[in-house]
Structure 1
Amino acid sequence: MTNPELVIRKAVWKGEEVDLLVADGKILEIIPSSDAMYEGAEVVAARGYLLMPSLTDVHTHLREPGFEYKEDIASGLKAAAHGGFSNIMCMANTSPVNDNAVITAEMQNKAHAAFPNGPRLFPIGALTKGLEAKELSSMHDLADAGCVAFSNDGVPVKNTELFRRALEYASDTGKPVIDHCEDPYLELGAGMNEGAVSSLLGLAGQPDVAEAAQVARDLLLAEYLDIHIHLAHISCRKSIDLIAWAKKRGVKVTAETCPHYLLLTEEAVEGYGTDTKVNPPLRTADDVEALLQAIREGIIDMFATDHAPHAAHEKEVEFMVAPCGISGLDSALSLTWELVASGKITFDDFIRMWTTAPCETFGLPLNSFKKGDVADFFLFAPDEEWTLSPETMHSKGKNTPFLGQTLKGRVISHFLGGKKIV
């Protein structure tokens, strides 16, 4: 056997104390922990911390180029590194929009300059030019430049014929379309669920059918064309029911949801706090339970943060004027780990949702701790408490409704390709 260059000693993996052996940036093997000596190897004492494969986030907004006052690639990747993420997929709603290979290359170059050992940045190319939903982008050029998927992000493509052609064109590149499902005529971007709470608060709301109607359209097109589609930030029971129906029919669909849709309901908006304004909006307790059940049943495939940092002055306005979005890279690991600790999802669900499914779906580097896998992992203290505050966040965006809360679970050290980055 190849001699290890790195040994992680006395870590815990699935309830067993183990040693992890790494060489050439790859996993050699996991073995029962021992005091064996490995000549020339760096030995890291894990002290009983949990061994975890690095996470992948398939939906972030890193804002650069154009909106560096909200976030830049370096600050976003720093938050990702400390948050346990190895692979970051970022949306195209930059300025200029990432609808050409020059912008794609610029983003990747800046990521590599800031973090040469990762986290790795995987751009998502614009589905249409300028995200205007009028003309398809040059997807082949974008794919050749390194884009791993295409999306119109928060600008729904209301022209179904154009969206059909987009699916076909993207399929020719071998890259999937990620769709933000929102009917463009039903209170677009309202940021509040339509229902009793919105009526009480006197706020315009968006009904769950606005999401579900677009989900239905996408699923029918995907079935008709026999093309894979990925549905972003699913938030409601109606959408889940449609996805379950489609999967039973063999439709090639994957779907994500976000931590805030599992931990908060529309009632969080009652104080008019703009950090609770997100698109799609926070839904009902019934929708939360439906999402958790869908995770357990495999209907929802993966987590995503939908990391959407904003500057303080943009959120410190009236609710209906504020932009939608929550800054999530710093807190997502701890927030979703609470779902495991409370028994709402299993450890296996957690690994599938944050690591296995996103990497397999989008063809990204995956560590399942098998021999030859990329050595992306972190040591995790599940019971260590910390307070989410502007000082403990690495993202420029401090806009999160969880600010000030005491969270459990923290990254102790993080290795990508066998190299320590945190």
Structure 2
Amino acid sequence: HPAVLPALVLMSALIYIAGRIIKKLELGIRDESADLERKLNYLFAAPTDFAAGKDLRIYKISRWFGGLFSIYFPAMIKLCARNELWWFADDVLQGILNLLRDGACYLLLIRMVLEGSITPGDFTMYFGAVAGVSQWLNDITKQVEKINRFSVQCCEFRDFLEMPDGFVNDGKECLDTEGNRAVDITFEHVFFRYLDAEADTLRDLSFHIRAGEKLALVGLNGAGKTTCVKLMCGLYHPTGGRILINGKDMSKLSRDEYYRLFSVVFQEANFMPFTIAQNVSGAMEDMDRERVKSCLELAGLWDRVQKLPYGMDSLLNRELNEDGVELSGGERQKLLLAKALYKKAFVVILDEPTAALDPIAENELYQSYGELTEGRTSLYISHRLSSTRFCDRILFLENGRITETGNHEALMAAKGAYAHMYEVQSHYYKKKAEGRPAV
């Protein structure tokens, strides 16, 4: 019958349309599902982190984790159950349509046999043909539905890869740095606000770092110091204003070339499970071992490294390497400093890199570091104001704005917020040095 084949195709089309509808429903809960999954991943990972074990025990916060887990996990289960219910309904609909499709064809064949319009042999042939075409259409529909379902995850990754890069692009504009060891950096009326934040973190920030200048950026917690560094490195993009490198807008420079300008020590210490020398040099084989040693000495870590059984060839990360070395917090920060020293960058940035060191050791380290970075543009961020005295100029940051600028002596003479903060810190150490209890 001429209506058999169109009927089979129509039923399969209805099944396909139902699958497309389910896919759109699934996309509608993608953001909510991703938010819950991110929170649950944290709740799973944080308690199993060896470094977090002390806090979990001392502050008895395991119940807090359990309480959050009891909130987010049922919500995730509910969301997943809703999603699976949609696909179950799709399967039920598919079963009903398949039954109607195959049942109508078989009833038509049986009626034709009873009426004598086809022979029993024809019935067997047509019956097999209908079953084969039905199975073929079912397989096509199922595979297309599976592709649609998997494409939900693929679309997320594709959206990420195709996210437009509004700054530090791969353009052809380059900097003329040949023969120079430093660059000139200018912030012009820079504003920055984090996503969903109520106020700007940086507000109309303008300053100029001359080529080869050692600049210190100081201020209280939350003043915007680290945000300023991430903007300078091209990790964030200003929401207003612009950043110039040697007079050129950073958004027009090649990304690879731009990153080569900076050697940065952030507050977080992350290392690969390779040798100490490989982590410092960033190379597996082709490295300057003498330079590695020199950088470790300047960072104050060579005495510790040379006592290890394999010296600078000792592996890090004991979780992956049985004979791996586990460094303390202060030693990890020193290793980061050595890594920054090894890279021959035009701009050197230290963002609170010595928080685990005592103030005296920090000051001695900065003095040595200042000698090595001679002739390069340098930016230092520290809460300890005594460590910034060797800098050419100091910027004091408050609430996203620069409120004071000058060298240490000038800022102390001004008796402003910088001088007050310095006196508070020095008062503590003076009492400690005199043997009196510090408040």
TM-score (norm 2): 0.25
Larger Rg belongs to = 2
| Structure with the larger helix share | 2
Q: Which has the higher strand share?
A: 1
TM-score for the superposition, normalised by structure 1: 0.25
Higher relative contact order (CA 8 A, sep 6+): 1
